[in-house]
Structure 1
């Protein structure tokens, strides 16, 4: 039975068991059910659209010179309901799924093709499951680690550039004036300013304040933040501070400290005191705490 016939019989509550199973197997079954539920609020009490339409058509055929005033009003009601149906269906099928994380929060996401995403703190991921078979695109603000299932092209879209997947495992970090992609497995293409750069396992692409930064080969098999630790290699100290604030929900005040100096090291996400020592002792800094504010002082 054709899709249109199944939907028509479903709307008339006239499906047998076999036809009901075929209807449930339709790709947009969930959207149709959702649409029908929303539509109930727009239907007039005891108003049968099909019957009214048949009456209008019958009236038109039976009269040689039909009066518009006899049939235009019911026809307009039918047209209005059809317009509402289309609008609701369009809305439900174009609506994106959006996942966000708060300070000190991480989450795991399963995409429609069984690809998985680990989302770091204060990040956002958006995708459209209804369009997934046509285009596997996700939008990212923040940081995420991707394990991509085999299939057609997969794109991670950020405001700084687009990451196209030729492999399966990679990390994307997009923050204020900071854009980094690290390939852990396979091959990844990064398009920035209309230029694509191919990354092999261990390769990185990093731009800070609009400048391309060269990095050493990545030896880890996955990003450190998945194990509740942030690791840095020769990055400006301000990048370490902002990531610390993101993971602990604190605010820093820097006194006599050059925030552009480079820092190599790491800090844990589950022990504030240990983490503070990790980012201050290597630079001979001292710190004090007042409520949620941490003051760092240089010599």
Structure 2
């Protein structure tokens, strides 16, 4: 591994035992240890690398260089270059965004730096700045996720439709394909959007379908059903049911021959496609066939 790579991993606190020994063997190890204390108080946005190099060059050019005394130039320039590398890597690592995403049929749970937990449903993504998390607990979401937030400073979930803010609670957020939904399971949640602002208490829901605010009854469950590999719907347009089944099974539907805006109440499991198809078609008297890789729906 190159020296620069070792230095970068050291700044990220990401050296394994073998890499740590290699890092300690670097000839610049002592200098780097001295720099580490200074870097703790360094404010990256104020550092001007170009200005530092110009000042060093100007200082050097103003003094006549005598050949017998040039031995000091190499260490000075070397330290200046090392500082530039360290400051650049420091700035890069502190502004680096961490992205976590799931594929079709996939779910995953991650632990954030403050020990809050996020469980992503299929085809979802969150992004956050790990190095800045202690000061700003903020992330962006595309898709659907269930949050268990540790108490502390304000915790924000930003979506393309609106922002959800809490201090410590458990809640669900879904933001995709014409649907924006927030369900509070514990504590309280503040939803800020272009349509309405609302504070949710346990069991309260905030649902927007195709730009329209929908009134929903109290949620009685203690967590989203999909955490247990099951999707549950209450008076939801059928097209959203089909979208969710596509995400959970990596299939595609042709719904041109049916009314996909009809309402559906029911559920389907995530581990048996045939059973899931029957669960969403039989209650609505819909039949299906498979053609060219598509599941074609039509009324009986």
- Alignment correspondent of 1:14: none
- Alignment correspondent of 1:95: 96
Asked if 1:67 is matched to 2:48, the reply is: no
- Alignment correspondent of 1:281: 282
- Structure 1 Cα separation of the partners of residues 65 and 202 of structure 2: 72
Contact 1:145–1:171 (Cα < 8 Å) also in 2: yes
- Alignment correspondent of 2:272: 271
Contact 1:235–1:263 (Cα < 8 Å) also in 2: yes
- Alignment correspondent of 1:187: 188
SS in 2 for 1:235: strand
User: 1:75-86 alignment to 2 at 5 Å?
Assistant: 78-86=79-87
How many residue pairs are counted as aligned between the two chains? Answer: 255
- Alignment correspondent of 1:251: 252
- Structure 2 Cα separation of the partners of residues 33 and 203 of structure 1: 42
SS in 1 for 2:261: coil
Asked if 1:31 is matched to 2:12, the reply is: yes
Where do 5+ consecutive residues of structure 2 fail to align?
1-8, 33-55
- Alignment correspondent of 1:136: 137
- Structure 2 Cα separation of the partners of residues 69 and 177 of structure 1: 73
In structure 2, relative to structure 1, the CA distance for the partners of 1:165 and 1:33 (3 Å cut) is closer
Superposed CA RMSD: 3.2
SS in 2 for 1:152: coil
In structure 2, relative to structure 1, the CA distance for the partners of 1:33 and 1:167 (3 Å cut) is closer
In structure 2, relative to structure 1, the CA distance for the partners of 1:289 and 1:179 (3 Å cut) is same
SS in 2 for 1:226: helix
- Structure 1 Cα separation of the partners of residues 289 and 134 of structure 2: 53
After superposition, give the CA deviation of every residue in 1:87-133 in whole Å (9 maximum; x if it has no partner): 11111111122111111011111111111111111111122221111
- Alignment correspondent of 1:21: none
In structure 2, relative to structure 1, the CA distance for the partners of 1:283 and 1:84 (3 Å cut) is same
- Structure 2 Cα separation of the partners of residues 167 and 186 of structure 1: 7
- Structure 1 Cα separation of the partners of residues 190 and 264 of structure 2: 28
Contact 2:107–2:119 (Cα < 8 Å) also in 1: yes
- Alignment correspondent of 1:125: 126
Where do 5+ consecutive residues of structure 1 fail to align?
1-27, 51-56
After superposition, give the CA deviation of every residue in 1:57-101 in whole Å (9 maximum; x if it has no partner): 9xx89xxx7237988x86666544432321111111111221111
- Structure 2 Cα separation of the partners of residues 30 and 149 of structure 1: 27
C-alpha displacement of 1:33: 7.0
In structure 2, relative to structure 1, the CA distance for the partners of 1:286 and 1:248 (3 Å cut) is same
C-alpha displacement of 1:166: 3.9
In structure 2, relative to structure 1, the CA distance for the partners of 1:213 and 1:105 (3 Å cut) is same
